[in-house]
């Protein structure tokens, strides 16, 4: 039997549908979308600001209702201009951009600032986007809200922001729960800790959700495949590979971070016998036993993207690094259906 991380979009045709509907905000390449589909949900459509990401989303997911615009514009659309199906959702899903809460860099200096992730995107206050998403939730009134973000939101001063999010969820009529989950416990070949806000509408008589998922770990050697791009011995990345290769990964990363070597911190060495670190769009993932980057197929498998996903002309590592691992969302969505929807 194939491992769960080895799958194709064409496999979705055989998935038994559960009759539940989802709409995705900040959809990027559709990592969450694919997770819901694997769990049997119908994903009606999406909102995405990035034209290139929207192009590959539409190519791979063929959404019925697709909105290429900032979330602020979407929430201001008159109700009459939105399809009726969006006012009868089971789940409103969203991954508000979270770089201002990442533990990388001087994050507090970024709070309140305006940024664009990529050339061509609109400049936005990223720490406001979560509340724009909740404004959409207040407008559409789904049965359940699921929002994913980085672990850094519950560390240090950022915890005050989390309290504001939880208060806003209660204010608009939802009962929120907060989960810190590691994708490695869900069959994903990657140690990716993420915060999930799961909130049921107050009129839903659901018991508290439990997300105690503990599947066997999948090490890098199990998914490793293909040839990586060789490093140039004359470049700094090769020298970083030489410096970091003998070191224990976790201690090496901490040491380099304390020295202020941001470039070293973003250079990750993968060993066959260990689970991969978090796949990030800004990091260089190198193999420990040869001076090369990991292959595109490695990135696809580490992120549990389907083997037949059409990345078109986009960078594979960027799309994967910016997305929720589909298998991670599959496990969460599966539990929401089993514990909540299927019992009511």
Terminal Cα-to-Cα distance of the chain (whole angstroms): 34
Give the pLDDT score at 104. 45
Cα–Cα nearest to 91, from 23, 140, 139, 170: 23
Give the pLDDT score at 110. 44
Q: Which residues have C-beta within 8 Å of that of residue 271, sequence separation ≥ 6? A: 220, 249, 288
Low-confidence ranges of the chain (pLDDT < 50): 102-117, 119, 121, 248-263
Q: At what angle do helices 129-140 and 159-171 cross, to 10 degrees?
A: 10
- CA dist 331 and 344 (Å) reads 20
Contact 94, 198 (CB under 8 A): no
Give the pLDDT score at 115. 44
Contact 46, 23 (CB under 8 A): yes
Give the pLDDT score at 27. 96
Give the pLDDT score at 340. 98
- Active-site residue identified among 28, 98, 219, 247: 98
Give the pLDDT score at 128. 84
Give the pLDDT score at 262. 38
Active site residue 247: no
- State the pTM of this model: 0.88
Buried b vs exposed e over 272-307: b needs ≥16 C-beta within 10 Å? eebbbbbbbbebbbbbbeebebbbbbbbbbbbbbbe
Residue ranges and CATH numbers for the domains of the chain are 9-215+324-343 (3.40.50.150), 220-319 (no CATH)
């Amino acid at each position: 039997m194939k491992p769960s991380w080895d799958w194709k979009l064409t496999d979705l045709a055989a998935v038994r549908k559960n009759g539940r509907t989802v709409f995705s905000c900040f959809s990027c390449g559709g990592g969450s979308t694919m997770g819901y589909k694997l769990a049997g949900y119908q994903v009606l459509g999406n909102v995405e600001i990035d034209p290139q990401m929207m192009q590959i989303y539409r190519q791979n997911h063929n959404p019925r209702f697709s909105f290429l615009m900032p979330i602020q514009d979407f929430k201001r659309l008159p109700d009459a201009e939105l399809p009726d199906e969006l006012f009868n959702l089971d789940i409103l899903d969203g991954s508000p951009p979270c770089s201002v809460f990442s533990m990388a860099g001087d994050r507090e200096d970024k709070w309140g600032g305006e940024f664009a992730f990529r050339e061509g995107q609109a400049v936005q206050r990223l720490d406001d986007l979560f509340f724009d998403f909740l404004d959409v939730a207040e407008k559409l009134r789904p049965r359940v809200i699921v929002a994913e973000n980085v672990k850094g939101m519950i560390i240090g001063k950022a915890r005050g922001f989390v309290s504001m999010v939880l208060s806003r969820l209660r204010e608009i009529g939802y009962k929120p729960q907060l989960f810190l989950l590691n994708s490695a416990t869900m069959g994903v070949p990657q140690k990716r800790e993420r915060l999930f806000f799961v909130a049921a509408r107050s009129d839903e008589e659901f018991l508290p959700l439990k997300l105690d998922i503990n599947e066997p770990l999948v090490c890098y050697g199990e998914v490793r495949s293909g040839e990586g791009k060789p490093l140039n011995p004359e470049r700094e990345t090769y020298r970083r590979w030489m410096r970091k290769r003998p070191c224990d990964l976790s201690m090496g990363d901490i040491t380099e971070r304390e020295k202020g070597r941001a470039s070293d911190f973003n250079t990750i060495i993968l060993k066959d016998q260990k689970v991969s670190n978090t796949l990030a769009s800004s990091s260089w993932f190198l193999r420990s036993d040869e001076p090369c980057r990991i292959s595109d197929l490695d990135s696809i498998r580490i992120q549990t993207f389907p083997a037949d996903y059409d990345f078109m002309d986009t960078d594979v590592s960027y799309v994967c690094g910016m997305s929720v691992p589909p298998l991670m969302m599959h496990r969460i969505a599966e539990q929401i259906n089993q514990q909540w929807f299927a019992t009511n």
